[in-house]
Amino acid sequence: MHIGVPREVVPGETRVALTPNEVRSLTAEGHQIVVEHGAGDRAGHPDNEYLDAGALSGDRANAFNADIVLQVHLVGAGNRASNSDLDQDLKLTRRSTVLAGLANPLSHPEPVRRLAEHSVTTFSLDLLPRITRAQAMDVLSSQSSIAGYRAALIAAERVDKMLPMMTTAAGSIAPARVLVLGAGVAGLQSIATTRRLGAVVHAYDIRAAAREQVESVGGTFVDLPLDTSSAEGSGGYAQAQQEEFYARQREVLGNEVAAADIVIATAQVPGKPAPILITEDMVRAMRPGSVIVDAAAAQGGNCALSVADETIERFSVSIIAPTNLPAGAAAHASRLYARNIANFTRHLLGDDGPQLTADDPIIRDTLLTREGQVVHAGLRALLG
Ligand code: NAD
């Protein structure tokens, strides 16, 4: 198969879909790979590394003139790339081409229509089912882990305290107090990272199963008087709640937020805007010098004051809302992403070329468009 790897064009993106290591493996398996000039530069992989690994280097048209195109952002769909970026790339793409990457389609369904109009076959890896068989392809987990780690470091760097307890000749310093909201993959990594830095870490998630996971990485689970019996939906994800639930949650979270030097907010519900868990009044009640890192900013954010991709100060509290945390660790984020997408490519190709069977949950859940149609059931319902 001819596999193309274009340079990412979404502003602020530093990752690359395939690293030279994965190129080497896929080439050894008989595939021919074309990498757009400079695609790996920002992830620490100059063109010569790809050439050494057996790839060809080409322009954007060469990278899109392939049987399979692997990207971080699927032709920029749903990720703030302009419509013209998407259209220009689609003009370079053959109708028979398979494209795979992240499209965030449940939050940004419209560009998927255009992918269908162009008759390309597309897969969005952010829809992979969280089943054991798909773990080696699970880009959400690999990238969320990095996001959680980065969020912790950004917060630690910004807050006006040190995180560990210290005993010095000038007296003792108490450890900083961290509150993590949402204890999925990113939140657990934020807990583990701030714990390693010496902070006292509290965390809350609406899924009951999260308690044990929070404790296993050294956090203290916060008990809130909320009825969370309907909190867990399918696939281990949280279920969206009624606004009254969130209003009550904000009320009972108030003291926890006010007591924290750092709040790292990672609470998300797939395909929905992130729930607002921190209001302006809650920020006002925080200690001056404290920090909120809103790691849910790409889905609208958990803090009502967050401004995507900006750091603002309100009531002397820093509110940082990065929408692409993995891009801050481009080398490792690319390495894990590349391994995931290479495994997905192997799964897709099987032994006899693409197997687009709906019996396979990995294909069924990730396949967006095929033969001019939006085929993903959830998206069809969204697009009407
Ligand atoms: P996510 O990014 O969709 O959400 C992050 C977290 O926010 C979730 O834990 C969710 O419960 C929580 N949340 C939502 N609303 C909240 C609220 N109002 N208050 C507090 N927290 C709230 O989730 P994710 O990190 O992708 O993980 C989802 C699930 O998938 C988890 O159960 C995780 O353990 C599981 N998972 C399974 C596998 C697997 O292979 N089996 C792999 C990775 C993750």
DSSP 250-278: HHHHHHHHHH-SEEEE----TTSPPP--B
- Which pLDDT belongs to residue 216? 98
- Whose Cα sits closest to atom 10 in ligand 1? 238
Q: What is the pLDDT of residues 109-164, one digit of tens each?
A: 888 998 999 999 999 999 999 899 999 999 999 999 999 999 999 999 999 999 99
Please check whether residue 5 is in contact with residue 16, taking contact to mean a CB–CB distance below 8 angstroms: yes
User: What's the whole-number average pLDDT of the chain?
Assistant: 94
How far, in Å, CA of 211 to CA of 338, rounded? 32
Alpha carbon of 237 to ligand 1 centroid (Å): 5
How far, in Å, CA of 363 to CA of 375, rounded? 11
In angstroms, the Cα distances linking 255 to 112, 229, 258, 281, 371 are: 43, 23, 5, 12, 54
Please work out whether the CB of residue 181 comes within 6 Å of at least one atom of ligand 1: yes
Burial string for 343-381 (b: 16+ CB within 10 Å, else e) reads: bbbbbbbeeeebebeeebebbbbbbbbbeeebbbeebee
- Which pLDDT belongs to residue 220? 98
* Residue keyed to tokens 């798909």: 134
- Which pLDDT belongs to residue 351? 74
CB atoms within 10 A of CB 165: 13
- Whose Cα sits closest to atom 38 in ligand 1? 130
Q: What is the share, in percent, of the chain residues with pLDDT greater than 70?
A: 97
- In this predicted structure, the answer to whether residue 80 has a pLDDT above a threshold of 60 is no
Residue 251 tokens, joined: 């009320």
Please work out whether the CB of residue 79 comes within 6 Å of at least one atom of ligand 1: no
Mean predicted confidence (pLDDT) in 63-80: 83
- Whose Cα sits closest to atom 35 in ligand 1? 236
- Which pLDDT belongs to residue 350? 84
Mean predicted confidence (pLDDT) in 293-307: 97
Q: Between the CA atoms of 118, 139, 240 and 264, what dihedral angle is there, to the nearest 10 degrees?
A: -130
Alpha carbon of 176 to ligand 1 centroid (Å): 25
- Which pLDDT belongs to residue 81? 55
Alpha carbon of 203 to ligand 1 centroid (Å): 13
The answer to whether residue 370 is catalytic is no
Top pLDDT among 277 and 352 is at 277
How large is the greatest C-alpha to C-alpha distance in the chain, in angstroms?
72
- In this predicted structure, the answer to whether residue 382 has a pLDDT above a threshold of 70 is yes
- Quick check: ipTM above 0.85? yes
The answer to whether residue 130 is catalytic is yes
In angstroms, the Cα distances linking 179 to 43, 315, 339 are: 31, 19, 32
Q: How confident is the model at residue 85 (pLDDT cuts 50, 70, 90)?
A: confident
Q: What is the pLDDT of residues 358-380, one digit of tens each?
A: 789 999 999 999 999 999 999 99
- In this predicted structure, the answer to whether residue 212 has a pLDDT above a threshold of 90 is yes
Please work out whether the CB of residue 204 comes within 6 Å of at least one atom of ligand 1: yes
- In this predicted structure, the answer to whether residue 333 has a pLDDT above a threshold of 70 is yes
Alpha carbon of 266 to ligand 1 centroid (Å): 9
Q: How confident is the model at residue 357 (pLDDT cuts 50, 70, 90)?
A: confident
The answer to whether residue 234 is catalytic is no
Q: How confident is the model at residue 73 (pLDDT cuts 50, 70, 90)?
A: very high
Q: How confident is the model at residue 78 (pLDDT cuts 50, 70, 90)?
A: low
- Strands, DSSP E only, in the chain? 2-5, 32-36, 56-58, 68-73, 98-102, 121-124, 166-168, 171-173, 177-181, 200-204, 220-221, 262-265, 291-294, 311-314, 317-320, 367-370, 373-374
- Which pLDDT belongs to residue 48? 98
Q: What is the share, in percent, of the chain residues with pLDDT greater than 90?
A: 86
Q: What is the pLDDT of residues 160-205, one digit of tens each?
A: 999 999 999 999 999 999 999 999 999 999 999 999 999 999 999 9
- Which pLDDT belongs to residue 82? 62
Burial string for 77-100 (b: 16+ CB within 10 Å, else e) reads: bbbbbeeebbeebbebbeeebbbb
- Whose Cα sits closest to atom 25 in ligand 1? 184
How far, in Å, CA of 313 to CA of 290, rounded? 10
Burial of 31 (0-12, 13-18, 19+ CB in 10 A): buried
Identify the active-site residue in 7, 24, 89, 141.
Answer: 141
Mean predicted confidence (pLDDT) in 238-242: 91
